[in-house]
Amino acid sequence: MTSARNIIVLENTKVLATQAAVEFQTRSHAAIKDHGHFAVALCGGNTPKAMLELLSGTDFAEDINWSAVHVFWGDERCVPPDNANSNYGMAAAALLSKVSLPAENIHRMHGELEPHEGAVDYNEQLRAFFAGPTAFDINFLGLGNDGHTASLFPNTAALAVVDELCSENLVEEPVASPWRLTLTYPALNASRAVFFLVEGGSKANIVAEVIDGPRDVQRLPSQGIIPAGTLTWLLDKAAASKLRK
């Protein structure tokens, strides 16, 4: 499987967040016109939060048909939804509570459940919504300093899961909980479009290693993202500073 890859370098993090919001807006129009809904998977992090805050503003919110938007997540910490480290909680505060998105269109990972139970539940949610491949219209992803994305961490069990769309995963970065729920490669790579959102000079080395370096998915799980659709890297200048020219 191959995927067209596009690298877009933006002036700063504010412009990056704005570009991500524009992608959300314009692709929602196209998806709703094409197949009646817009399915988007969100991630945690500062840039995604800034994107969601922009989308909640008048310029964007009034131009989006929220009744046809369905929101999913790429991963979640195994914590309750009101925990400060919940990806759902961040999205709810930044966007979901501010727009006219029907409650039934919010498909959250239930991090408060026992990890395996939470994974089973999300598999059921995904299969109930998607008729066929789990084809998100957009999947927004971040990139960790260790090369992880979603909660697919280096040398963890979820990297090998090919028969489920969501898996529990025990990770070595126990922020709030060592257990995570994560979409697996089959779910992520069925996406119509994947956007990595990466900012800051602290990410420059890992960005260059993932994009320009040799392929080693066990060590750099983000290299395993090869979607059926398009793959786009939205980077600020600092994050892109060590890419090969």
Average pLDDT, the chain: 95
Please, are residues 189 and 228 in contact by the beta-carbon 8 Å criterion?
yes
pLDDT, one tens digit per residue, over 29-60 is 999 999 999 999 999 989 999 999 999 999 99
pLDDT, one tens digit per residue, over 212-243 is 999 999 999 999 999 999 999 999 999 999 99
- Which band of pLDDT confidence, cut at 50, 70 and 90, is reported for residue 3? low
Residue 174 has pLDDT above 90, yes or no: no
pLDDT, one tens digit per residue, over 73-126 is 999 999 999 999 999 999 999 999 999 999 999 999 999 999 999 999 999 999
Instruction: List domains and CATH numbers for the chain.
Output: 31-202 (3.40.50.1360)
Rounded to an integer, what distance in angstroms lies between the CA atom of residue 162 and that of residue 166?
A: 10
Higher pLDDT, 164 or 45: 164
pLDDT for position 39: 98
pLDDT for position 1: 39
pLDDT, one tens digit per residue, over 115-126 is 999 999 999 999
pLDDT for position 175: 72
Rounded to an integer, what distance in angstroms lies between the CA atom of residue 46 and that of residue 141?
A: 12
pLDDT for position 218: 98
Q: What is the DSSP string of the chain?
A: ----EEEEEESSHHHHHHHHHHHHHHHHHHHHHHHS-EEEEE--SHHHHHHHHHHTSHHHHTTS-GGGEEEEESEEESS-TTSTT-HHHHHIIIIITTS---GGGB----TTS-HHHHHHHHHHHHHHH-SSS---SEEEE---TTS-BTTB-TT-GGGG--S-SEEEEE-S--SS-SEEEEE-HHHHTT-SEEEEEE-SGGGHHHHHHHHHS---TTT-GGGG---SSEEEEEEETTTTTTS--
pLDDT, one tens digit per residue, over 192-212 is 999 999 999 999 999 999 999
Residue 4 has pLDDT above 70, yes or no: no
- Which band of pLDDT confidence, cut at 50, 70 and 90, is reported for residue 133? confident
Pick the closest to residue 214 from 223, 225, 205 (CA basis).
223
pLDDT for position 245: 75
